[in-house]
Amino acid sequence: MPDQNKLIMIYGANGYTGKLIAKQAIRKGYQPILAGRNQATIDAMAKELDLSSRVFSLDFESEIAEQLADIHLVIHCAGPFSATAEPMMQACLQSKTHYTDITGEIGVFELAQSLDQQAKAAGIVLCPGVGFDVIPTDCLASLLKEKMPDATHLALGFDSGSSMSPGTAKTSIEGVASGGRVRMNGEIIQVPLAYKERQIDFGDGSKNAVTIPWGDVSTAYHSTGIPNIEVYIPISPKGAKNMRKMNWFRWLVKLKYVQNKMKQQVSKTAKGPNELQREKLRTFLWGEVTNEAGDKITGRIETCNGYQLTYIAAVEVAEFLLNNQVDGGAYTPSKLINNRLIFQIPTTGEVVFN
């Protein structure tokens, strides 16, 4: 039976993914505390699910820490994480609360790693990325590293036909403004959008693909030590061309006014997939390692829709932290549990290596 004395808080519980995580936690026998900034929506959701709630902003770390004083673990779901992750992490260090989130933002993963020593001193775990960003690719990267211990280059990618939730869409807007990212010789460097283009068979046929600034540019390095990392998604040649054109307008997207207008628009239009769509959609994961000799190994995994994976995985990681004594520090998902974590997700197939 779940230990109800160890409290879980879901912050941003009223968002698209936060609601899914809350309902999954209930299915697993937990009674998470729902939290967020919007009094009306949090209270309404708490009443609907018969759960307790707390309403507070992330403006002051000391006030956040007070709200977390009795919380064993927080699942942070309120983006954009570029703005919200640091105050929540700092408050967790003060309150000695385990921190997890569902980000895919490179800067947040690097922030957690920079706080590793503070987390060790506080005896808490900092583990961002406990959803689709980045559990599947993080596990695949680690599995490939086991197959080729001397790998020097890692390429990862995924093919998912899923629509985006409002939060994911807003993060993507920030990503356009920031440009591309890859890891080269151990360092994260900025590159143009659609920096590289190649043909990849993610598991459902060969497709044109381009690089994106996905979280594994950070996490896969900390999980594997491989110094050169790129992440790809499929896109048509025309789409890749249009993405490269965006490099000329990144300065415009960086403007706060433009960012706010674009985010207001996606709030109205982005809904995320419904339950039927989540059940039907599949995700194909691909990875490739090479060494100095030019040897190459590829790996492929088929799994469920990214949002379905996120709400299942976020609760799996929470359950692990509730039931196990873990040394404090900053972790990637595959380092926190193991690289078989992806296979704890129902309907995930075994990895196929070539």
Please check the confidence at residue 156 and state whether its pLDDT lies above 90.
yes
203-222 pLDDT tens trace: 999 999 999 999 999 999 99
Q: What is the pLDDT of residues 233-242, one digit of tens each?
A: 999 999 889 8
Question: Does pLDDT of 276 surpass 90?
Answer: no
Give the DSSP letter of residue 318. Answer: H
What is the model's pLDDT at position 110?
98
Is residue 163 over pLDDT 60? no
Domain boundaries in the chain? 7-132+307-344, 135-306
Please name the CATH architecture into which domain 7-132+307-344 falls: 3-Layer(aba) Sandwich (3.40)
User: Of the given ranges (124-133, 234-243, 264-273, 306-315), which has the lowest mean pLDDT?
Assistant: 264-273
**Given pLDDT bands bounded at 50, 70 and 90, which one contains residue 274?**
low
The reported pLDDT for the residue numbered 297 is: 98
CA 286 → CA 3, 297, 322, distances in Å?
37, 11, 31
H runs (alpha helix) in the chain: 16-27, 39-49, 61-67, 81-95, 106-114, 116-122, 135-147, 166-178, 216-224, 237-245, 250-253, 256-269, 275-280, 306-323, 333-336
Q: Which tokens sit at 51?
A: 């759960």
Read off the DSSP letter of residue 247: G
Topology alike, domains 7-132+307-344 and 135-306: no
- Higher-confidence residue of 267 and 69: namely 69
Query: Distance from CA of residue 119 to its chain's centroid?
Result: 20
Write the pLDDT tens digit of every residue in 33-49. Answer: 999 999 999 999 999 99
Q: Which CATH number fits domain 135-306: 3.30.420.40, 3.30.360.10, 3.40.50.2300, 3.30.2290.10?
A: 3.30.360.10
Q: Find the range with the poorest average confidence among 13-17, 273-277, 305-309, 349-353.
A: 273-277
**What's the confidence (pLDDT) of residue 169?**
53
Q: What is the pLDDT of residues 72-90, one digit of tens each?
A: 999 999 988 999 999 999 9
Paired with 249 in beta bridges are none
Residue 1 has pLDDT above 60, yes or no: no
Decide if pLDDT at 123 tops 60. Answer: yes
pLDDT of residue 5: 79
Question: What's the pLDDT at 164?
Answer: 47
Residue 61's alpha-carbon distances to 56, 90, 117, in angstroms, are 11, 7, 19
Torsion angles phi and psi, residue 75, rounded to 5: -105, 105
Return the percent helix, strand and coil in the chain, to nearest 5: 45, 25, 30
Q: What is the pLDDT of residues 110-122, one digit of tens each?
A: 999 999 999 999 9
Q: CB of 42 within 8 A of CB of 36?
A: yes
Q: What is the pTM of this model?
A: 0.91
Distances from the Cα of 210 to the Cα of 179, 193, 207, 244, 335, angstroms: 13, 9, 10, 10, 28
